[in-house]
Structure 1
Amino acid sequence: MTIEANKSANLRNYILVTASYWGFTITDGALRMLVLLYFNTIGYSPLQIAFLFLFYEVFGIITNFLGGWIGSQFGLKLTLYGGIGLQIFSLVMLSFLNPNWGQGIAIAYIMVAQAFSGIAKDLTKMSTKSAIRLVVPQEAESTLFKWVAILTGSKNALKGIGFFIGSLLLAGFGFTNALLIMGACLFLILLTGVMLPQGMGKIKAKVKFKQLFSKSPEINILSAARFFLFGARDVWFVVGLPLFLYSTLHWQFFQVGGFLACWVIGYGIIQLLAPVILKAMGQGQSPQAKTILFWTSVLAFVPGAIALGLQLQLPPNLVIIIGLTIFGLVFAFNSAVHSYLVLAFTADDDVALNVGFYYMANSGGRLAGTVLSGLVFQSFGLIGCLWVSTAFVLAASLITIKLPDPNPQKAIAWQASDGD
């Protein structure tokens, strides 16, 4: 295959994978909003709602741990479209939920369905993020940062649109019909899988089980920081904030969904513009270790400031809108740099394994944040959630102090020595 033909094939594969991920992301955001708002309206407590997402996050951890191995052995096509198929199954399963079942049975049923959705989400995310490393040369770090920013930013913008679509579908079609509509749309995306090459991301060597745990110090540091970073977001975002807006501030469905949609869309736009922002700040074409340390340290002040504003009884609508806008802007840049660095520290043959391990930590943070969101909100309200968020961001900042600057040659050398 000529160089031009290879570039064309890589671009086609990137477009196919990204478009599939976009479609999945919209339904994933919509499903979260459907579950959250619907079960709040029928009387579920904040802690009960948090438990509805428990298996979603638990199985996300397991999927990221094993999904990288599956992708490296059988190819990313299997993991990507297998994830889309599981999401369809989850949506259909939830559509059979019977309101007349006892609450205990209903919660267990929903948790199982959400487990399939959690597996689906992390299979597709791991597959898509890994695919970028395979279509960008190891030494092209500036290009890699741009491509990661485009994918990550567009994904989060579409997830925000999904929040809004979910609230609209719930208001316009009801819970069951909304699920079936989303399942039908995903089935059309599933049919595009025939165009993706079978062996993409597959490596010839067999991976030993111990290699799933054996990571470079850079990947371990990033993974630990990622755990606390996303726990800091989800401890207020998953349950506390939507229920605060709906129950305390008395916003309507479309207002809650619309605000969260705008927040995530704006978050995605900042991720998309991260390379431009970095260049404008005079910090070079690609992030360094000091970049993530600076922005994580800045983020630590934001949730505490929001909590203080609410404690001082400043206008809550104003505090929430302004405060969370600032949090979203800073968090988005943090997330974009994180997504770049994990690939910058990874050689091509290790991409699925390292990305899977890294996003396992991401899912662990989301799990901790989800459970704490319901528990802390029920006991201490949104202010309590924000103080826990502050503690988590501080932990992430301290962890990144020891992170070195990315060095593609070092990643290659580490891979060679690890295999001996």
Structure 2
Amino acid sequence: MEGKHTQQQLHIVSWAYWLSTFCEGATRILIPLYFYSLGMKVTKIAFLFVCYELCGLLANMSSGFVLNRGGYKRTFLGALFLHTLASAGYLFVPWLGVGMMLLVWVGMLRAMRGVAKELLKTTSSAYIKHLQTNHLQSHWLLGGKDSAKGIGLLAGGVMLSLIGFVGAFGFLTIASLVALIMAGGRVGDVREQKTVSFQQFSHVETRMKLLAAARALLYAGRDMWLVLALPIYLSNMGISKVNVGAILAAGLITFGLIQPISGWWVKQRWTLGAYTIKDPWLYERVLFVSCVALAGVPIMMLFYGQSLLAAIILIVLYNVISGLATAPHNDLQMRFAQSNRASIDIAFYKTISQLGKIGAVFLSGLLYQHWGLEGCLWVSFFSLLLSGILGIWVAVLSKRTPQAQRFLKKYVYSPQKTR
């Protein structure tokens, strides 16, 4: 796939993926606010998110092998179909009461959506690995999906207020179906040359393992307070559902816009006459600094989060810095993945990083129940610091690679640098 056809494939994959993440963003605001309004305990709502993340983890563990054996197109379309079924399943929720049947049914739907989401994410990343023509395209795909999710958060709050829970999921079912139809007749297929087995999970490069662990802690630092605790905290402050969705959407849309800009900015070289103001940076060098800066936001939230204006500013600030912290991961996961087994390496990365989400969502429910938002913020702070420390390790190992040595020789030790 080359030239114009390659770009068409990238656009199809990106738009279908973004539509699915729009639906997921709306769901992330609809579920906690709707079920909390029914009187469901925070720990039970957290259980629904754990079902989602746990099944996403299981999907990640097998997604690389499904892609490798079945091809990219079949996996991508199957995931979109599963996503559509999950959206349609929520239409029956109001007729299930508020007992155990409701919890089991929604838990099953969350599990189904978790599988679909992770299959879509892994397939889209693998497509980009084979189709991208420059390093910024991975940032646009992954940054765009976060902006789409942010718009979904806003739309979810608006729909819940205007057309209710059933009306909102009716709309999301149609949107998922549109994504499936759009991709069905146009997305191309990719098949890897090398057939792999489950044993290949143990042969992942050390840098990829460390990068995955750093991403898991980065996810944990975010989901510990932004996914479940913050919407309920804002709702308890008397903020309407629409405004809660708008606040979270503003942060996530900012995050999605910052990611591709960060990828471009990190690689820029700025000069003023004969003087170099900024050299291109290695992505590995950004990992530690960005995580340390990010860890400062939960601490500031502890002291100033009681003010709504300060909370909004800090939420947006967190997402700005998070965009910078995430940008290196978007590029490095593609670079560290080996071309003849890209689906396996990317699936491993996403499986390990998913563990951070599962642990964070589960703990956030318990922490919020007993210690409120403050407990979630403290654990977030330490998770982000640990992620930065692992980033240093990745940078040290990467300096030994031929690619890093060529970069250092060209830019860091260049004649212009020594003037």
280, 289, 295: which one pairs with 1:294? 289
Which residue is equivalent to 1:91? 87
Tell me which residue corresponds to 1:364. 355
- Please report how far the alpha carbon of residue 26 of structure 1 lies from its aligned counterpart in structure 2 after TM superposition: 0.7
Q: Which amino acid aligns with 2:28?
A: R
Structure 2 stretches lacking a partner, 5+ long: 271-276, 405-419
Q: Name the counterpart of 2:262.
A: 274
Aligned to 1:414: none
Question: Could you tell me how far apart the structure 2 residues matched to 1:294 and 1:253 are?
Answer: 35
Query: TM-score of the superposition, structure 1-length normalised?
Result: 0.89
Cα pair 1:224 1:399 within 8 Å, conserved: yes
Note closer, same or farther for the CA distance 1:185–1:309 as it changes in structure 2 (3 Å cut): closer
- Segments of structure 1 that go 5 or more residues without pairing to the other structure are 138-142, 412-420
In the alignment, which residue of structure 2 is the partner of 1:416? Answer: none
Q: 2:205 aligned with 1:210, yes or no?
A: no
Q: Note the alpha carbon deviations across 1:272-326, whole angstroms, 9 max, x for none.
A: 211333227866556332111221122222212221334xxxx521331222222
2:243 aligned partner, one-letter code: Q
Report runs of 4+ in structure 1 exceeding 4 Å deviation.
Answer: 280-286, 406-411
Question: Aligned residue for 1:124?
Answer: 120
Q: Secondary structure at the match of 1:236?
A: coil
Q: 1:167 aligns with which of 135, 147, 157?
A: 157
Q: What is the rounded CA distance, in whole Å, between the counterparts of 1:100 and 1:349 in structure 2?
A: 48
* 3-state SS of 1:237 partner: coil
Distance in 2, matches of 1:306 and 1:106, equals: 35
Residue correspondence of structure 1 range 303-318 to structure 2 within 5 A: 303-310=298-305, 315-318=306-309
1:409 Cα offset (Å): 6.3
Structure-1 residue corresponding to 2:346: 355
**Aligned equivalent of 2:37:** 41
Contact preservation (8 Å) 1:227, 1:365: yes
Q: Displacement, 1:408? A: 8.2
Letter in 2 for 1:265: I
Distance 1:258 1:410, change over 3 A: same
* Of 216, 229, 232, the match for 2:218: 229
CA contact (8 A) 1:292 1:337 kept: yes
CA gap 1:367/1:119 in 2 versus in 1, 3 angstroms: same
What displacement does 1:406 show? 7.5
CA distance in 2, matches of 1:334, 1:285: 16
Q: Quote the Cα distance in structure 2 between the aligned partners of 1:340 and 1:259.
A: 29
2:388 paired residue number: 397
| CA offsets 1:47-84 (integer angstroms, 9 cap, x no match) | 11111111100011111111011112211112221111
Aligned length: 394
TM superposition shift of 1:117: 0.4
Counterpart of 1:246?
235
Q: Name the CA distance, whole Å, in 1 between partners of 2:292 and 2:310.
A: 21
- Inter-partner Cα distance in structure 2 for 1:274 and 1:39: 37
Hey, what does 1:418 align to over in structure 2? none
Instruction: Say whether residues 1:103 and 2:84 are aligned partners.
Output: no
CA distance in 1 between partners of 2:350 and 2:279 (Å): 27
Cα separation, 1, equivalents of 2:105 and 2:400: 47
Cα 1:276/1:260, change in 2 over 3 Å: same
Whole-angstrom CA distance in 2 between matches of 1:197 and 1:117: 24
Deviation at 1:400, TM superposition (A): 1.8
TM-score between both structures, scaled by the size of structure 2: 0.89
- The Cα shift of 1:253 comes to 0.6
Does residue 61 of structure 2 align to residue 65 of structure 1?
A: yes
Cα RMSD (Å) of the superposition? 2.0
Give secondary structure in 1 for the equivalent of 2:193: coil
1:115 and 2:106 are equivalent in the alignment = no
The question of whether the paired residues in 2 share the 8 Å contact of 1:148 and 1:336 is answered with no
**Seq. identity, %:** 26
Shift of 1:46: 1.4
Query: In structure 1, what is the Cα distance between the partners aligned to 2:123 and 2:197?
Result: 20
Q: Is the 8 A contact 1:293 1:400 kept in 2?
A: yes
